[in-house]
Structures are given as C-alpha cells and as structure tokens.
A = this chain, B = another copy of it.
Amino acid sequence: MGKTCDAQVRKSGGLGSGISWRYLFMFSIMLNLSLLISRFTQDHKTTTGLGLGLGLGFGLGAQQSKRDVSPLSFTDKAPVCGKMGSTNSYCAPIIGFGDEPLINLDHGDPTMFESFWRSMGDRSNIVISGWQLMSYFSDIGNLCWFLEPEFARQIRRLHQVVGNARSEDRHIVVGTGSTQLFQAALYALSPSDASEPTSVVSAAPFYSSYPSITDYLKSGLYKWAGDAHTFVKKGPYIELVTSPNNPDGYVRKAVINRTGGILVHDLAYYWPQYTPITSQADHDLMLFTVSKSTGHAGTRIGWALVRDKEVARRMTKFIELNTIGVSKDSQLRAAKILETVSDSCGHSDDADHPAESFFEFGRQQMTKRWEQLRDAVVKSGMFSLPKFTNDFCNHAGQTIEPHPAFAWLKCEGGIEDCESFLRGHKILTRSGRHFGVDSTYVRISMLDRDETFNLFIERLSGIRK
C-alpha cells in the first residue's frame, strides 16, 4: 500500500525542487533513527519485564515455554527493504546511514548465495504458462501425491552427487520449507491416542524456533520439553538432532538413546559449503531445505527422507490437512535449482557449459568469511568462537574445516548480556537465552550479502573494552 501512495505523491508534484526533497529525506531519516533506537530500548525493557526467555522449560515436566521466538523474529528488528528489478524485492539488513548504521544479523537470510545464481545467467530460469500445474495432484501413484516427480528425481540425484544422505530407498515427502516438515514429523511420530502429549526435546543449545513451533497451537499430541541433556521423564519422546547444529555448528548425535525414543534428524546444514561430508547419513527421518542448501529461502521448499512408509504417509496427511499439498510452481523451480547445482558439480549433461561448482563457491566464501571473523575476534579481544576439527570431505575429496552458517559468539571479560552489548555497538544478534543457554552467547548469521558482512567485520574488529 505504501508503494501505491508513493506513486500518488510522486505524481502530485508538491515540492518542486529536488534539493528540498533531499533535506526532507535527511530529516526524516534522522527521525527514523531516533525512533528505531528508542524502540530497541523499549523492546529490551519489555523483554526483561515480561520475562521473555526466562524460565526455559528444561528437564522434567517442562512448563509451556513463555517465549515466542519465531523463525524470523524480525518484527521488532525490521531491516530496511526496497525493490530491485521488477520481480525481486530485497531487504537490506543495514539500517540507516552515516558512520554507524545498524547491522541486522539476527536472522539467517541466505542472501550470500545470490551472486552465484546471478553468475548462472539464464541457466536456472524457469518458465511457467498459465495453463500448467493447475491440478491439486502431482503424482497420485506416489504415497506423497503432491510431490512433483521431477523434483523427487533431482533430490535423489543431488544426494547421489554430494553423498550426504541415503535417498534411493527412502520415501520423499515435500514440504512448504522444512519448518512444515518438522511439524509433519511431530504429527506423524506422536501417537494420536496417548494420554498426554509426547515430549519433544533437543540438546541445548538448540534451534531457537523449536520451542515456539512445537507449542504455538498448544497441541495435545506433542509438547516442548526442553534440553535433551536434562530430560529424565519416562515414556516416549522425540529428540531433534540438528547436525551440523544451529546455532553452534558442531556435528551432533542423539544424547538420550533410551527405549521409546524417536529421532528426527534436521540436516539443513549438512552440505559441503558448511561442513565436511564424512559419510552418507542413513537415519530414519532426515529433513532438508533449499533455503540453506542453495540459498532459496523465498521459495519455501523442503524435503524429508523417510524410511518408514507409515510415517511418510502420516507426514503426507499432515501436509494435506495443513496446506492441501505444496505449491507445484515452487517445486518445479526447486527442481531446476537442484539440477543446476548437480550440473555445476561436474555432472553436467551440457559439456559445452561446465559451470563453477556451487559448493566450491560456497565453501570458498565461507572459508574467507570465517577467516575474517576469527581475525576480527583476535583483534577485538572481547570474544571467543567455537573450535572445529578438520575432517576429510568425501565430496571435496580433501580434508577441510567446518564453516558453519552461523557464528556462535561468546562475550568474554565478564559481559553477561552479549546481545545487549552488541546492540550497543549497533549489531543485532540473537541471544543465547533463545537457544536454551545463557546470555553470554549470541548467534550471528554468516550468510548475508558481502556489504553487510564486511561492515559487521569492520565493526566487530573495532570493539574494545
């Protein structure tokens, strides 16, 4: 709506001189900045006042989490957005101008990969006609009836090329992002006739959205029960294993290992740009998403590889009830994107146009960024970072270092609230409190565009006691 009104104003003329508009704009920007700053101060106060993030339900009989940490809890930390081209909008996570603009690295928008896709030119274009893809159905012969066969084919091909997960004898369930598939898994794995909700746990630090996504509907089927390390309740449970882990990037295994436990493996980051591919994952239920594998977060497509047919059937049922399937347009686009990635790994059918390897591009970018980050941390002397072990990557054919999609930064030197400390330096991050640990930690996205990342590094390097 803002846009249409802008147009009206533009047409109506009003102030004739360009310079007057500039002055007004600059004045307005100053007003924006003061409002934003006062708002963040306000948010911080509100957060403390409401106990947001306090009293996490770890351990026995966890309480309903009071937190509301959504996957992109940007609503109170809005990046500035604009239009770029006729069909592409973007949000610049740098707010304001001058010496100290605000840098938003709270969410994990994977815009770093945009430059690779631009370099592909029209190789990954898709064209969809008005008469195509109109029916609800994609492949009624398949258990997951809304899965486009071409997308399924490209998923299997990519896993084969990368060697990161066993897909050939698994059921594929497509979802509107892996967030929907995570809920589909909870629905599928929780008995519908149990006397109480199935406990859902994950080892801290865990993905900050797990508690709110599990509990927002107050389901009688499943309930968030906190940190897997301290979970002692008897009976069935679901343990979420994120590997490499969001937020800290470590490779993980289940921590409970008890009878009656069911595992869901979130492998969103198990790709060669982030971590060595040491073996072909072979778990019962594995989740993947294009947002982290290829950078296409706006496409809202994920997939699950599921061993058990009945579990896959129930996950399909969830998605049928939740959204009557998954958009075909997006599946076709995702298929083209995965095809381009596989082709780029030296498996191109088109010998005349060998592409740069997508994963090699990603790994080089991440290597460079992690080097910059570690340098900045040394320069500042105020922070520490996780240390990772090198390992042989079957895909790269060499020993490589992990370079996670998020930096799990710890404030040293007695700073207790790292998020607030960095906010004071106009860097927005997500506090460790949201991940089930203490507030000396923050999570920082490593996947933003170059200009944002470089500004962040510059800012971080300069922070002194």
Chain A residues engaging chain B, CB cutoff 8 angstroms: 1-12, 14-15, 17-19, 21-32, 35-36, 38-39, 42, 46, 70-72, 74-75, 78-83, 85, 87-91, 107, 109-111, 113-114, 117-118, 120, 122-142, 145, 148-150, 152-153, 176-177, 179-180, 183, 187, 192, 209, 212-213, 216-221, 291, 295-301, 317-318, 320-330, 332-333, 336-337, 340
Contact = CB atoms under 8 A, between A and B. Distances in A.
A289 B139 CA distance: 22
A216 B324 CA distance: 14
A89 B322 contact: no
A296 B133 CA distance: 7
B134 A130 contact: no
A114 B133 CA distance: 10
Nearest to A290: B134
Contacts of A87: 128, 132-133, 150, 332
Given A123-B130, A130-B337, A299-B329, A81 B139 contact: yes
Contacts of A295: 134
Integer count of this chain's copies in the complex: 2
A237 to B, nearest CB: 18
A216 B133 contact: no
Given A18-B18, A24-B25, 12 more contacts: A1-B142, A18-B21, A87-B128, A87-B332, A88-B131, A109-B136, A114-B131, A117-B134, A125-B127, A125-B130, A128-B333, A301-B327
12 contacts: A1-B4, A5-B7, A5-B30, A11-B11, A21-B21, A38-B39, A78-B145, A88-B133, A89-B135, A120-B130, A187-B217, A192-B218
A332 B27 CA distance: 35
Contacts of A107: 136
Nearest to A137: B91
B297 A326 contact: no
Nearest to A214: B321
Contacts of A325: 298, 300
Nearest to A33: B2
Contacts of A219: 217-220
Nearest to A6: B26
Contact of A133 (B35, B139, B298): B298
Given A36-B35, A299-B133, A9 B9 contact: no
Contacts of A88: 131-133
